[in-house]
Amino acid sequence: MSTAQTKQLLPVPLLDLKAQYEVLREEIRASIDRVIESQHFILGPEVEALEREVALYSQCRFGIGVSSGTDALLVALMAVGIEAGDEVITTPYTFFATAGTIARLGAVPVFVEIDPESYNLDPAAIEAAITPRTRAIVPVHLFGQMADMDPIMELAEKHKLYVIEDAAQAIGAEYKGRRAGSIGHLGCFSFFPSKNLGGFGDGGMVTSNDPTLAERVKLLRAHGAYPKYYHKFVGGNFRLDALQAAVLRVKLPHLDSWTEARQRNADTYRRLFREAGLVIENADDQSLAGQRGIILPKAAADGRHIYNQFVIRSDRRDALLSHLKERQIGTEVYYPVPMHVQECFAELGHKDGDFPVSERAALESLALPIYPELTEEMQRVVVEAIVEFHQL
């Protein structure tokens, strides 16, 4: 395909939710009408059914529907008793909510370096960060691939720590045959519209195999009350709307086929980029300086990557981003500023250079369109535009 042809093709959005909705329109509208007719909008039968279905899908005994992925993290931290002065180990390369919810409770986010290939928490770096004040570890399953959970759980057991999986981007992802949210003490999911399983607004879920923790989360999401007006704990209003649950219940049976489409699209990208001669293999320490091409995302052989994002790396990331924007190709930077150098965490005393792998990822990473309805023709447009960029 020539560059001239590429420029004449339609734009390629980063995500096209309308394409998904067109297929499910009638079923979704019927589910919304069902809730409207019931006039039961907060929690209730729809939420209870979704909780059972997501728990089953995630290989967990319990699911507790909550108001967002952020609130899932917050209530999970509350459930394990995180409070002011406690330390919680997590990654500096993540969405803000991971560290922000720790800080909201007066606890201290303790950042640990990431693995350069998976972008997830590096288990080898965790133990050195554990102190007598450490209470929990929050590994993030970033971009749809699970962290290396076995050594994390071994460390947690050794030091008597809780593990809360931030699985906001990873519903259905697997690690050695086990689903995201089923390995730690609690798992936290987001149903933000852009997620692989997305609602029509904010929503989330906490999963667990521990009945005591699950019951505590359930109480905390409704101001710690049971029965009504009798408060065992100081909780919050973290309840899931029935309308969101109804929409998600329509979508959940399609999730595996959507995941398979994302995986096919990932394979197609890999083939097209290799055919174009743009793939840098085994870059030393993941440094791209002076090399022509990109690094592709790595998928662990013993896992199931669900590709919430397909993230490449380029040492000229910002220039490539501008080039693709000019070609009307949707991209996104996840995440341009690591947590340890965010202004709101200045009191932690970190500086540039403290976590070089995370900082390089923030400077070099770029997400390309990967949604299920993406066609190979559209992917060829994306690849050709990136080829063109490297010929400039």
On whether both 63 and 206 belong to a single domain, the answer is: yes
**Cα–Cα distance for residue pair 207/180, rounded to 1 Å:** 9
- Average confidence (pLDDT) over 192-214: 98
What is the CATH number for 319? 3.90.1150.10
- Average confidence (pLDDT) over 190-195: 98
On whether both 249 and 138 belong to a single domain, the answer is: yes
Phi, psi of 355 (to 5 degrees): -135, 75
On whether both 150 and 239 belong to a single domain, the answer is: yes
| Domain final residue pick, 201, 235, 253 | 253
Number of structural domains in the chain:
2
The domain in which residue 381 lies consists of 3-15+254-391
DSSP string, 220-258: HTBTTBSSTT-BSS---B-BPBHHHHHHHHHHGGGHHHH
pLDDT-derived band at 230, boundaries 50, 70, 90: very high
What is the CATH number for 216? 3.40.640.10
On whether both 80 and 10 belong to a single domain, the answer is: no
On whether both 11 and 147 belong to a single domain, the answer is: no
Query: pLDDT > 70: what percent of the chain?
Result: 95
| Domain final residue pick, 208, 229, 253 | 253
pLDDT tens track for 280-315:
876 555 555 666 789 999 999 999 999 999 999 999
Pairing status of strand 186-190 against strand 204-208 = antiparallel
**Cα–Cα distance for residue pair 118/131, rounded to 1 Å:** 26
pLDDT at 345 > cutoff 60: yes
- Average confidence (pLDDT) over 138-158: 98
pTM: 0.94
Helical axes 242-251 vs 45-57, angle rounded to 10°: 40
On whether both 192 and 133 belong to a single domain, the answer is: yes
Would you state the pLDDT for residue 229?
93
Q: What does the block give as tokens for 184? A: 């730690």
Would you state the pLDDT for residue 9?
60
Would you state the pLDDT for residue 385?
96
On whether both 175 and 273 belong to a single domain, the answer is: no
| Domain final residue pick, 253, 286, 312 | 253
Pairing status of strand 162-166 against strand 108-111 = unpaired
Cα 269 to the chain's mean position, in Å? 21
Mean of the per-residue pLDDT values for the chain?
A: 94
Burial 108-141 (b: 16+ CB within 10 A, else e): bbbbbbbbbebbbbbbebbeeebeeebbbbbbbb
pLDDT-derived band at 250, boundaries 50, 70, 90: very high
Cα 206 to the chain's mean position, in Å? 14
On whether both 224 and 117 belong to a single domain, the answer is: yes
On whether both 93 and 236 belong to a single domain, the answer is: yes
Would you state the pLDDT for residue 4?
44
On whether both 72 and 86 belong to a single domain, the answer is: yes
On whether both 379 and 240 belong to a single domain, the answer is: no
On whether both 159 and 103 belong to a single domain, the answer is: yes
**Cα–Cα distance for residue pair 257/22, rounded to 1 Å:** 16
